[in-house]
Structure 1
Amino acid sequence: MGRIKRPLRLRRETLTLAMISATCAMQLASTAHAAGIPFATDRPQTWQFSSDFEGSYDSFGQNLGWNHEGRAFDSHGNQIDGPGTNTFVGLSTFIHYWKLPSLPHVGFNASITVPEIRSQGSQFSASGIGDPLLGGLVWYNPAPATTLGFQAYVQVPIGQNSVSTNTWSFWPSVFYDDWYGHVNVDLLVGGILRGRTLRSGQDDLSPGNTFHLNLRVGYSISAPDNPFAIPFFAFDHQTSGGTFNQTALTAVPNSASRETTVGAGVLFQFKPNSLPFLHQKMYDQLSIQYQHSVSGRNTALTNGILVQAWHYW
């Protein structure tokens, strides 16, 4: 395996705790969707990649998230009592990275993400292995600290029945990351295109598609070429279309939703060749953030904590 020349520039994509729970948890509430915005676990430098490496390399990430759905937004955007559920989601992701000699400023990766889900309420509980996501991305570095790219994933409905979406879906998005002095700007814009939901003994449904936007603005306390702690601000938004009942040939009332959240967190990075990890042969990241809804419609409020850890070699 080729050795990475400049680990400080290498970042991996992150799938989100919330994006899995949002899609699987639509069946967890009656009049309001469960909270969750796709890619809500993003942090500064999520979409910063470097093409300055040789051979290939790998990474493994573990995400953990908790969300308390005690409040919800009704169809008019007013706050009401929510389902009261506590949702815990883990995401285990393996990623392989490579490049082609003929494309010196371009890189690729392929990944698989497996979710572990637990949702518990006073009148409802569900747990199990959710629907995995398979796919990858391509990025381009027009300048050493600038990244532009495109990614695509397929969510395969083979998870355990209690937490599966029972729906094939396609996740395309574009991303951008750049440094402005000590400030890192990280942006993702994309969507979820859903197929028909098929459950034995139930009506066939056509859930609406989703648009999402995820922005992170972080400030590196140390020099940007040797970042250790990066406090950051988070802004996320999603809009989802309504569901159509294909069996009854009617639209499902109050099934279209939207949500906007803000949050804050900090990203810690542990790199080789920097004290106190001078002899460390690996590269690691740890981030923690809190998010809360500021507006929405037909969805439970986000009120949760997201933690993720990455190791790559």
Structure 2
Amino acid sequence: MHTHPLRAPRGTPRLLATLLVAGLAGGLAPAAFAQTTFDVIGPHEYELPVDFKPFNVFVQYAYVQNNKDTFNAAGDKVKGNGSQTIVGMSKYVRFWTPESNPRIGLAYEVIVPEIGVRNHSATNAADRHSSGIGDPLTGFAIWMKPTPSSTFGFQSFLQVPVGDSRVSDTNWKNLSSFLWDVRLTDKLGWTADAGMVFQSEKTDGTRPGNTFHTNHRLGYRVTGLLEPFVALDYESTSGRNGNPSARALDGGVGMMFHTFDNQSITLRYSSSIEGKNHVANNSLNLKYAYVW
């Protein structure tokens, strides 16, 4: 039987109480992928407990992005290069509450991306398929509960340029954002974040501009198993080193399957609504989370 996370007894890790880290730093660097930063989050992502015993979470993300369209400088959608990006992200997270202050929660995580890019139209045969381990991320989150039905916190992650040369962005990044969750009713919930991505200089001498992003999920628990939701993701990158500014606004629909107390599966389709100098999102997203 499912126990609501806000009513879970001390020391009982329930999936919905822990899905925060299923999304912490889930979005990879905007320079490398078409999807907006942190757009992997789902319902309950930041619905977090306090005053609990330590526990662990493993999450496997996967998505397939078809780069058939892109937005030009005028904001018009034009034909893209037709490539396909397949990404997996394997994540381990440790949760705990400090004994000195059980009213806050802490988490530390490590994420390893697995990346594959197919472009059958590439002139050079060697460029038609690229794959490898991407730049890993590591970082922390801290949160509190202003009310029994809400969560507010902060997360910060470092992306380290040690991935395979074919898929590495070759620069350091910091992804920092505020996060929040509000249970509006027993069935309706809103989870969201807003933050920045800061990047160092790449090996080619260029330095990407700073990126602002915000991600929102509104889910309604129709049964014990099913929770449909809508998604809204936005990012805007400033121009720098002669590179123009860019932006993207994406919408999506999905379903979260509450399969067991300690596991869940989330599916979502996402598509761009408007943008500028940005690949149009056209992706199918999967998330599997396991808590122990």
TM-score by length of 2: 0.90
| Residue pairs, 1:287-302, within 5 angstroms | 287-302=266-281
Q: Do residues 24 (structure 1) and 24 (structure 2) align?
A: no
Q: Which residue of 2 aligns with 1:209?
A: 210
SS at match of 1:205: coil
1:148-201 C-alpha deviation (Å, 9 max, x unpaired): 000000000000001001010101000110111121001100110011111xxx
Letter in 1 for 2:161: P
Q: CA deviation at 1:270?
A: 3.0
Provide the C-alpha distance between the structure 1 equivalents of 2:103 and 2:138, rounded to a whole number of angstroms: 24
Q: Do residues 14 (structure 1) and 22 (structure 2) align?
A: yes
Provide the C-alpha distance between the structure 1 equivalents of 2:267 and 2:279, rounded to a whole number of angstroms: 22
Letter in 1 for 2:212: F
Provide the C-alpha distance between the structure 2 equivalents of 1:290 and 1:257, rounded to a whole number of angstroms: 22
Q: Which residue of 1 aligns with 2:240?
A: 243
Q: Which residue of 1 aligns with 2:4?
A: none
Q: Do residues 268 (structure 1) and 250 (structure 2) align?
A: no
Q: CA deviation at 1:9?
A: 2.7
Inter-CA distance 3–148: structure 2 relative to 1 (3 Å threshold): closer
| Residue pairs, 1:1-313, within 5 angstroms | 4-5=11-12, 7=14, 8-15=16-23, 19-20=27-28, 22-25=30-33, 35-54=34-53, 56-121=54-119, 122-123=121-122, 124=127, 125-181=129-185, 182-198=187-203, 203-222=204-223, 227-244=224-241, 251-252=242-243, 255-272=244-261, 283-313=262-292
Q: Which residue of 2 aligns with 1:248?
A: none
Provide the C-alpha distance between the structure 1 equivalents of 2:32 and 2:13, rounded to a whole number of angstroms: 38
SS at match of 1:157: coil
Structure 1 portions without partners, runs of 5+: 26-34, 245-250, 273-282
Which structure is larger by alpha-carbon Rg, 1 or 2? 1
Q: CA deviation at 1:6?
A: 5.6
Inter-CA distance 16–82: structure 2 relative to 1 (3 Å threshold): farther
Q: CA deviation at 1:74?
A: 0.4
Letter in 1 for 2:289: W
Provide the C-alpha distance between the structure 2 equivalents of 1:228 and 1:6, rounded to a whole number of angstroms: 18
Inter-CA distance 6–311: structure 2 relative to 1 (3 Å threshold): closer
Inter-CA distance 99–18: structure 2 relative to 1 (3 Å threshold): closer
Letter in 2 for 1:58: N
Question: Are the counterparts in 2 of residues 188 and 213 from structure 1 also a CA contact under 8 Å?
Answer: yes
Q: How many residues align?
A: 276
Q: Please tell me the root mean square deviation across aligned C-alpha atoms, in Å.
A: 1.9
Question: Are the counterparts in 1 of residues 29 and 37 from structure 2 also a CA contact under 8 Å?
Answer: no
Letter in 2 for 1:5: T
Question: Are the counterparts in 1 of residues 247 and 277 from structure 2 also a CA contact under 8 Å?
Answer: yes
Letter in 1 for 2:65: N
What stretches of structure 1 move > 6 A for 4+ residues in a row? none
Provide the C-alpha distance between the structure 1 equivalents of 2:51 and 2:41, rounded to a whole number of angstroms: 23
Provide the C-alpha distance between the structure 1 equivalents of 2:21 and 2:264, rounded to a whole number of angstroms: 12
Question: Are the counterparts in 1 of residues 271 and 282 from structure 2 also a CA contact under 8 Å?
Answer: yes
TM-score by length of 1: 0.84
